[in-house]
Amino acid sequence: MVHETLGAWPRALGRLHAEGPELVLADLVYTAARHLDHVHEQFTGAAQHAASILTRAAAGNTSINSLGVLQNRGSQIDILAARRDDAVDRLKEAIDAYRQVTASEDAASRPRRPGAVPAPAPAPTITQPARVARGR
């Protein structure tokens, strides 16, 4: 997701910045991506294990527990699916924040084209006030 959106791998983002908020956000993107990978691995592992149990049960190759075929595995998979969805949202937020900060940095560091800047208005002419002669 990070590579498709930003054009760089999460680990490489930190090498693009020496310091400042860009580096902090690059680290945040990297951490969020690692967290998503970890939760996704847990989710897919639990889902594959459940699929294996169901396949054996459907084939009649295992005894079915009176408490259920999956017992608490279904709840575990639901929780992992919710955690994975939350991790995706957090990663998207981190990517968006990184893009905003680096886009504003790029815009501030870009040299302006001479034709793009409007010419300054001429300075206003200041005239001295006329002196009023007072008579005695």
The one-letter amino acid code at 96 reads: D
pLDDT given for residue 13 in this prediction:
83
Whether pTM exceeds 0.85: no
CA 79 and chain centroid, separation: 22
User: Can you say whether residue 123 is alpha, beta or left, with left for phi > 0 and alpha for psi between -120 and 50 degrees?
Assistant: beta
- CA dist 122 → 77, 115, 118, 119 (Å): 70, 18, 12, 9
CA 115 and chain centroid, separation: 36
In tens digits, the chain (136 residues) has pLDDT values of 777 777 788 888 878 877 888 889 999 999 999 999 999 999 999 999 999 988 988 888 877 777 777 777 889 999 999 999 999 999 999 999 999 988 876 655 544 334 344 444 444 444 444 444 545 4
